[in-house]
Structure 1
């Protein structure tokens, strides 16, 4: 980054020159100074399509026993269901049988 020699503000590129936003100081942009690099080519990123959204793991997991099947791993999340001065409700979903239950504090 380049800084203004007068007020120490940051110089930004404007029309091939460097200009201070604070005091208006203008300096010629030279090749030896590092300024923004303009490229015309855009690198394309690979797009991954997920066929089954249910298979995608997006929630954190915890070791807790499912009351339905007894499996000991479940996904969990929090929701504020009651008024703001009351605690949140913790939901669990078994990763094996997909049974969902809640726990209050």
Structure 2
């Protein structure tokens, strides 16, 4: 990564120059340093597994939890600290059957 000397923002490659994404400053590419950089233009997304919005929760852990809406007995969950550190965390559930969301307090 290269940062702009004028404003400190991240610069990106544009031909033989590096261009600041904020102020537009341009500097020639340093050939020795350029060999150290990796361009993200050649990245592919072949390894991306999620293919739809519905698949967004499939990587989350699941547990036995009864849905209040449909009665299904499995739900995905996440744990977040919603209060101060000396309070227990909150578990957020999403039914694997109907998608209903609820929270559980420990």
Greater CA radius of gyration, 1 or 2? Answer: 1
Aligned-residue Cα RMSD (Å) equals: 2.1
Distance 1:72 1:46, change over 3 A: same
Partner of 2:26: none
Partner of 1:47: 46
Q: CA deviation at 1:54?
A: 2.2
Distance 1:48 1:62, change over 3 A: same
Q: CA deviation at 1:91?
A: 1.1
Runs of 4+ aligned residues of structure 1 deviating over 6 Å after TM superposition are none
* Runs (5+) with no aligned partner, structure 1: 1-44
Q: CA deviation at 1:46?
A: 8.1
Range with bigger deviation, 66-75 or 53-62: 53-62
Partner of 2:102: 101
Alignment TM-score, normalising by the size of structure 1: 0.52
* Runs (5+) with no aligned partner, structure 2: 1-43
User: Aligned residues, how many?
Assistant: 62
Structure number with higher helix proportion: 2
Query: CA–CA distance in 1 between the matches of 2:101 and 2:55?
Result: 16
Alignment TM-score, normalising by the size of structure 2: 0.51
Q: CA deviation at 1:47?
A: 1.3
